[in-house]
C-alpha cells in the first residue's frame, strides 16, 4: 500500500515538496451528478429557470473552482492549468444532471483535486440555483474517473453506472 504523502515522519500534515520532480503532461477527469425531480430537470432543459442559464452558470463556476482549488484544499499546490473543461449533460432517464470535468497541465504535480473540485462546485451551483424549486436534490457520485501522467501512473475508474 502507498504511503500518505502529506504526512511527515512526525505524523504532521505538510505540503509535499515537488521541486525535484520532472514536469510531465498530467490530466484528470472527474464527475458529479445532481439527482432531481423530473419537473426540475425539465425546467433546466427548457431554460425556464428565473435565475438564467443553469448549465452556463454551473460550467463557469466549475472552471473558476478548478483554478482556485489551492485556496480551498489546504495542502494543494497552486497550479498553472492549461485546460479546464466542464461538460453538463441532462439525463432525463435517470432524473439527473451529470457533470464531467477535465483538467490538464504540464507540471510537477497532478490535477486530480482540480478536476474533482470543478465537478463538485458545478454540482453545488446547480443545487444553489434550483433550491428554491426543490430542496431535496441529491449530489452524488463525486469521483475521479481517470488520471494520467506522473510518478504514480495512470488510473481508470471502474464504470459503476
Residues 6+ apart with CB under 8 A from 59: 86, 87, 88, 122
Q: What whole-number distance in Å separates Cα of residue 70 and Cα of residue 78? A: 5
Is 36 a known ligand-binding residue? no
Is 43 a known ligand-binding residue? no
Is 114 a known ligand-binding residue? yes
Q: What whole-number distance in Å separates Cα of residue 90 and Cα of residue 64? A: 22
Indicate if 128 belongs to the active site: yes
Residue 97 · residue 88 · CB < 8 Å: yes
- Choosing from 128, 136, 154, 161, which is the catalytic residue? 128
Residues 6+ apart with CB under 8 A from 99: 31, 32, 33, 34, 58, 62, 86, 87, 88, 89, 119, 122, 123, 126
> Which residue ranges make up the annotated binding site?
75-77, 113-114
- Known catalytic residues are 128
> Which residue ranges make up the annotated binding site for substrate?
75-77, 113-114
Amino acid at each position: 500500500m502507498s504511503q500518505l504523502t502529506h504526512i511527515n515522519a512526525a505524523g504532521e500534515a505538510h505540503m509535499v515538496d515537488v521541486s525535484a520532480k520532472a514536469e510531465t503532461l498530467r490530466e484528470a477527469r472527474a464527475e458529479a451528478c445532481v439527482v432531481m425531480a423530473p419537473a426540475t430537470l425539465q425546467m433546466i432543459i427548457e431554460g425556464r429557470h428565473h435565475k438564467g442559464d443553469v448549465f452556463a452558470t454551473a460550467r463557469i463556476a466549475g472552471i473558476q473552482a478548478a483554478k482556485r482549488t489551492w485556496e480551498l484544499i489546504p495542502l494543494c499546490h497552486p497550479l498553472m492549468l492549461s485546460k479546464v473543461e466542464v461538460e453538463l449533460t441532462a439525463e432525463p432517464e435517470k432524473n439527473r444532471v451529470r457533470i464531467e470535468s477535465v483538467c490538464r497541465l504540464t507540471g510537477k504535480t497532478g490535477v486530480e483535486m482540480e478536476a474533482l473540485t470543478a465537478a463538485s462546485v458545478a454540482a453545488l451551483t446547480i443545487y444553489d440555483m434550483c433550491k428554491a424549486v426543490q430542496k431535496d436534490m441529491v449530489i452524488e457520485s463525486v469521483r475521479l474517473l481517470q488520471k494520467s501522467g506522473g510518478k504514480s501512473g495512470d488510473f481508470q475508474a471502474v464504470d459503476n453506472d
